[in-house]
Structure formats: C-alpha cells, structure tokens
Amino acid sequence: MKVVNLREVRKSRERDAKRAQGDANAAKFGLTKAERLRQKLDAEKAKRDLDGHERT
C-alpha cells in the first residue's frame, strides 16, 4: 500500500486544473484578429455546407 500525502494530491489537482484553464484561455484568446475572422468564416461555411445537405 502506498502512502499518499493528501495535501500534495490536492495541490497537484489544483495545478492541473489551472493549467487546463490557461490552455483553454490561450486557445480562445491567443489568436490574432485575422485568425479569429478566418476561424469564424470557416465555421459559418461548414454550417452552411452541413445545412445544405439536410433532407427536407
């Protein structure tokens, strides 16, 4: 059986959560205006293409 320091586990879990949040923020806010515009246009085109294949 392995002895675990609960304080270290808690701190490690909190560090991992902060790192994940930071990575998400970097992906969300780390783009230039042109990159954001390109991403938005690509998403709109993909939605239009998908909607165009919809059966009526």
What pLDDT does 32 receive?
86
What is the Cα 35 distance to its own chain's centre? 16
Write the CB contacts of 6 (distance below 8 Å, at least 6 apart in sequence).
none
What pLDDT does 4 receive?
92
What pLDDT does 53 receive?
83
What pLDDT does 34 receive?
93
Question: Angle at CA 33, nearest 5°, toward 31 and 34?
Answer: 100
> What secondary structure, in 3-state letters, does the chain show?
CCCCCHHHHHHHHHHHHHHHHHHHHHHHHCCCHHHHHHHHHHHHHHHHHHHHCCCC
What pLDDT does 31 receive?
82
What pLDDT does 56 receive?
65
Identify the segments of the chain with pLDDT beneath 50.
Answer: none
